[in-house]
Structure 1
Amino acid sequence: MPIAGHLVVCGDEPLAHRLVEELVTRYRRHVTVILPSRRRNHGPQIARLPNVRIVEADRLDVEAFRRARVAGAESVAFVGQDDVGNIHAALQAQELNPRVHLVIRMFNLSLGLGIRNLFRDCSVISDAAMAAPAFVAAALGEVAPVHVRRPGRTLFVADPADVPPDRVICALSSHEGGRTVLLPRDPAGADLVLAMAEGRDGYVEHLATPDVPGRFRRWLRRQRANPFRAVRVLFARKLALVAVGLVAVLFVGTGILTSVNHLPWYDAAYVTLLTALGGAEPDTAASTVVKITQTVLTVVSIALIPVLTGAVVEAVVNARLAIALGRLREPMSGHVVVVGLGNVGTRVIRDLHTRGVPVVAIDRVGTARGAQLARSLDIPVVVGDASRAETLRAASVQSARALVVLSTDDVVNLEAAITGRELNPAVRVVLRLFDGDFADRVERAFSIDVSRSVSYLAAPSFAAAMLRREVIGAIPVDRRVLLIAEIPVCRESTVDGGTVATVHDLGGVRVIAVKNGLHQQWSPALSTVLSAGEELVVVATRDGLGRVVEATT
């Protein structure tokens, strides 16, 4: 018998695990999970969660969807890494249940927006796009560049010292007794606030995309900063030393001929150069000094032409390699090293490049998702194991400002972070880790600056989308997250007829606006009465969002 209104999640990756956990613990919903095996990846952890039914299937096909009872499902989420695979599976699910709400994970948001017309009821979310700004901000030691645009208003996260008090919508966090408090009631001591900007005044600069110089201008700027950079790239050190030695001999020969034969320096240089390139004619009447000089220059002539030929060949080869690989071979400094060019890493290097921050990327393979993008942006790419010191040295981590480690393997990430910190004790380390408790211990034990979990940041948005609630922003605070969401007030719900204070009393939630049709009331008074049909714009913790969704349904 079909289970009416149940939810279906397809996948066994970290995001699937977090999503299912969010649905069963915070929203107390029954979830069916389709995965290849309950014994692989995050299958064991998912299977241990309450109110979870497991359907094992090697492929997401019609048979798997029938076994998962998709025909009677309320929502189905597709959270695999393959955009095309997710679209194909969603089309099959829609054939079985035309009324089902589909939530599709997409890396390519342009494609995601384009395919919405294929589905009757669909939400497209990119976990990479949500998480990347948090990693970029952590790498640069800045406030996360989160902003939300609403009709007539733009909200952004800021340091309270950077905005006037009348622009502050609500306090997001404060430090009390050595711990971080989310959504404090007293905004006076807040260290992070949600602020409002209007029009194009001075406060919108927080949201502006910086002007990035073109590829030629970036090259020219690098040459001005270091005029010998291109020489070091195109010529090997040993070849350069040999060339310098030969040139020194030519200068010495010129000086000797000037002194002994009493020639002007330019004539002496002329005789020296022709003697070195063409060899000298024997002159028994010449002085001993001239004979020795001519002999040395003749010997030099044997090596000079091959050295010049080798230099030209090496310069051409190295120039072509630099263009082909999208990287230069000389050390860098003041840059950000990004390890892992998967979905999140690709977004991070693009965001850093857009902000004009120099970047070096590392991945195990040269065919990773972000490798082609990196080369097209003239970002150096080092292919190798980031947990090995020689790979990190090739990326000049010893002179980098930050190391951002973003692979999907916690062990590899930790090894790379520790190795990077050994090579450069001053480097700012930003680490991607799935397990929150493990991440907290790692931060304390190894002095890691910041750790983030992509699935932790993204799962609440996917869960809300499955329940047809829209999360319009996610704000990372330490290893926790605050969510900005629009919540409709349903008739005869707990909130219907209550006040804004009623919602605040739920805990972990602040109402920042009340929408009634086209009218929006920002920063409503606590005594404002709420009624069915209105929408609340709230900032909430993960638990708080679950409570307000339940109270408004």
Structure 2
Amino acid sequence: MADPLRDRARRATGWRLRMNGDARPHYVICGSDPLAYWVVRSLLATETPAGQVRVTLVVPERRRSDGPDGRDLDGVQVIIAARLDEATFRRAGLAGADGLALLHQDDVGNMHAALCAQEVEPRLRLVVRMFNTSLANGVRQLFPDSAVLSDASMAAPAFVAAALGEVAPTHFRHGGRTLYVARRTDVRPTDVICGLAVTTDPASTRLLPAEDATADVVLAEATGQRPGTELAARRLVRARRRRQPVTVLLRAVRSFATRKIGVAVLLLLGVIALLGWLNSRASGVDWAEALYLTLVTTLSGQDPDVNKPAAAQVMQVVLNLAGLALIPLITAVVVDGVVNARLALHAGRIQPARTGHVVVVGLGNIGTRVMAQLHDFGVEVVAIDKDPDARGAALAHRLGVPLIVGDAGLEETLRAASVDTCQALVVVSTDDGTNLRAALNARSLDADLRVVLRLFDGDFAERIQKAFGIGISRSVSYLAAPSFVAALLDRAVIATIPVGRHALLVTEVPVVAGSALDGRPLAAVSRPGEVRLLAYARAGQKTDWTADPRMMISAGDRLTVVARRAGLSALLRETTPVPPEPAGAPVPRQPEE
């Protein structure tokens, strides 16, 4: 049986032998969507002690969408294959590779591909993308050196936090402390661990600034005394279900029957009212007695009197005829209303008036997660999707979340969801064009509406922000890619912190004997804008959160850092020794003097 720890050590030191003599790490990526693009792009930017990694991308012949999927990036070997089987993996050079990432949006297909890959390379670092995370334990039992990740689970908290107006959704426990991301004004100064970003200028976000006091977004310790807790609680209270009974009643009456039946009923009631008024004038009674006589005559036809004047007898006969027509109309209204109500509720067209809720557009992987998390927080949610059988439709019905079936780009669909009175609109469908139309139409209904928009293209998102003032945009693939890359490179990522369209990684890095940082002070770890040291731990000892920067680093020590992806790659080069040259490698020629 393969030993995951031994293989992990070999990959960390970089001396795993390769059949072609190339000492550079080799990774095979299988995917054809934006997540594959960002994973490949991040791997190409990763520097290891053995040099830049080699990436082989396996894609189907046809693109799933017009967006990039990594096959057009420079420096990538592309293998086009209809199936992920043993023959495909051998063509991709999986034998002897350092890792395989299966990133297709097909849980069963990824499982089958993993079994085929194991036949080609038993000792393989495997990273599998799965929506159904309950299968993770089964995958880990079959593949001991594997990681099962869900991009939807990783990115959903960022959308939820943006919808509720929170700065970031991240909270995690490490080294005996629970840490969370907040604005500096929402935490006590003694609880601040370090500054993360300066976001005062919307056009330019500065990450990990040199002057810690300038950062308005910080990483803080949860001590049970959080000033922002009351504010968050009030926000959630405002977001809970609040109904307007009169408006709900009017909407229900208006949508109860068809237009033609409603017009017929109104005309008949008008005729009865007119004849009742004429009857009261002829009989010389007050309005209360006239109303009583009119209703009795209309509904029962009682009290015939041959001694009445001819005009009164004519009006009584007409009222009796009107009564005969009124009863069937009332029956038709009831039957028609019940049928229409059931059809409308099934299609999501009838929605009671709401305020303070969150509208989620698109019940795919990410939309389903966002809807569920908002519901768990006690926030009322209304969902919109074109497909009545979307992935999250069944969960919406089970949670009691109203689902409106229709095009979110149309104004009537947004009105049916009461977008004009909601607190936030989260647009997370897979179509950038539909997302943009929904966001702009929603802004036309409420200019101050908080819109959380899913867009893949970062440059497009910035232009939309400047042109329309929609500043909260998220890319699911961009947010999740660092965790997939870290898992593929066998790095222990503790948390991923989204800041705007950027991502920071919290990870623990071991120091290997003979590396560049072995024997240097702790102050050499931090680099403004790239890496910030959070904690330090010697082998077998507890984590020290207040270590002296002058303390010397020794082999076996563990460094807990928050870093950007490029900064983390540079730190890993400094904590890992340069691997020896493989046997038979050519000796560099010395220049002549």
Q: Is the 8 A contact 1:212 1:354 kept in 2?
A: no
Say which one has the larger Rg. 2
- Alpha-carbon contact 1:24-1:50 (below 8 Å) kept: no
Match among 186, 200, 212 for residue 187 of structure 1: 212
Counterpart for residue 367 of structure 1: 389
The alignment status of 1:7 with 2:27, answered yes or no, reads yes
Distance 1:288 1:162, change over 3 A: farther
Structure 1 counterpart of 2:93? 69
Counterpart residue number, 1:521: 544
Alignment partner of 2:559 out of 536, 541, 545: 536
Q: Cα offset for 1:196?
A: 0.7
Q: CA deviation at 1:42?
A: 7.3
Between stretches 538-547 and 288-297, larger displacement belongs to: 288-297
Change (3 A) 1:176 1:297: closer
Show the 5 A alignment for 1:32-431: 32-37=56-61, 41=65, 46-150=70-174, 152-175=176-199, 179-198=204-223, 205=229, 226=248, 230-232=252-254, 234-235=256-257, 272-280=294-302, 282-287=304-309, 290-291=312-313, 293-321=315-343, 324-325=346-347, 328-330=350-352, 332-431=354-453
CA contact (8 A) 1:327 1:379 kept: no
CA–CA separation in structure 2 for the residues paired with 1:352 and 1:236: 36
Residue 19 of structure 1 is aligned with which of 30, 39, 42? 39
Q: Following the alignment from structure 1 to structure 2, what is the Cα–Cα distance between the partners of residues 400 and 372?
A: 23
Q: Distance in 2 between matches of 1:207 and 1:491?
A: 49
SS in 2 for 1:54: strand
Shift of 1:165: 1.1
99 and 308 in structure 1: CA distance in 2 versus 1, 3 angstrom threshold: same
Contact residue 164 and residue 235 of structure 2 kept, 8 A: no
Verify the 8 A CA contact 2:193 2:221 in the aligned structure 1. yes
Describe the shift of the 1:247–1:522 C-alpha distance in structure 2 as closer, same or farther (beyond 3 A).
farther
- Counterpart secondary structure, 1:431: strand
The SS at the match of 1:522 is coil
Structure 2 Cα separation of the partners of residues 337 and 303 of structure 1 = 44
Alpha-carbon contact 1:233-1:330 (below 8 Å) kept = no
- Give, in whole Å, the separation in 2 of the partners of 1:413 and 1:263: 65
Query: Retained in 1: the 8 A contact 2:187–2:228?
Result: no
**1:83-112 per-position Cα deviation (integer Å, ceiling 9, x unaligned):** 221122112212322211111111122222
Counterpart CA distance in 1 for 2:166 and 2:156 is 13
2:34, 2:67 within 8 Å by CA — same for their partners in 1?
A: no
For structure 1, which segment, 113-122 or 18-27, has the greater mean C-alpha deviation from structure 2 after superposition? 113-122
Is the 1:223–1:229 Cα contact (8 Å) retained in structure 2? no
1:505 counterpart SS class: coil
CA distance in structure 2 between the partners assigned to 1:524 and 1:442 by the alignment: 45
Q: Which residue of 2 aligns with 1:545?
A: 568
Cα distance in 2 for partners of 1:327, 1:38 equals 37
Letter in 1 for 2:100: V
Q: 2:584 maps to what in 1? A: none
Q: 425-434 or 438-447: which moved more? A: 425-434
Secondary structure, aligned partner of 1:536: strand
Q: Residues of 1 paired with 2:191 and 2:258: CA distance? A: 57
> What CA RMSD, in Å, does the superposition of the two structures yield over aligned residues?
3.5
- Gap change, CA 1:524 and 1:107, over 3 Å in 2: farther
Equivalenced residues, count? 548
In 2, the alpha carbon distance for the partners of 1:378 and 1:212 equals: 19
Q: Can you list the C-alpha shifts for 1:398-433, whole angstroms capped at 9, x where unaligned?
A: 444333221223233223333333344333222211
Maintained 8 Å contact 1:35/1:54 = yes
Distance 2:286 2:371 in 1: 58
Determine if contact 2:248/2:352 at 8 Å carries over to the other structure. no
Deviation at 1:240, TM superposition (A): 5.7
For 1:227 and 1:245, the matched residues in 2 are separated by 22
1:321 to partner: Cα distance = 3.3
Q: Partner amino acid for 1:17?
A: Y
Matched residue, 2:499: 477
Give the superposition deviation at 1:210: 11
Separation in structure 2 between the aligned mates of residue 251 and residue 107 of structure 1, nearest angstrom = 63
Give the secondary structure class of the aligned counterpart of 2:543. Answer: strand
Flag the 1:420–1:506 CA change in 2: closer, same or farther, 3 A.
closer
Shift of 1:191: 1.4
Q: Deviation per CA, 1:305-342, whole angstroms, max 9, x where unpaired?
A: 12321232134324433554466345544433322211
SS at match of 1:156: strand
Distance of 2:38 and 2:79 partners within structure 1: 18
Take 1:252 and 1:39, find their aligned partners in 2: how far apart are those partners? 70
Q: Does structure 1 conserve the Cα–Cα contact (< 8 Å) formed by 2:188 and 2:227? A: no
d(CA) in 2 for partners of 1:159, 1:236: 53
* 1:177-202, Cα deviation, whole Å (9 max, x unpaired): 7632111232323211111114x555
**TM-score, scaled relative to structure 1:** 0.87
Q: Is the 8 A contact 2:498 2:504 kept in 1?
A: yes
- Judged with a 3 Å threshold, the aligned counterparts in structure 2 of structure 1 residues 244 and 366 are, in CA distance, closer, same or farther, namely same
Cα distance in 2 between the residues matched to 1:465 and 1:98: 18
User: Take 1:263 and 1:518, find their aligned partners in 2: how far apart are those partners?
Assistant: 99
- Bigger mean CA offset, 368-377 vs 98-107: 368-377
- Structure 1 unmatched runs, 5+: none
Distance 2:520 2:91 in 1: 43
Residue identity matched to 1:529: M
Instruction: Map Cα deviations across residues 414-465 of structure 1 (whole Å, 9 max, x no partner).
Output: 2333333334433322221112122111211222131111111111111111
User: Is 323-332 or 459-468 further displaced after alignment?
Assistant: 323-332
Larger RCO: Structure 1 or Structure 2 (Cα < 8 Å, ≥ 6 residues apart)?
Answer: 2
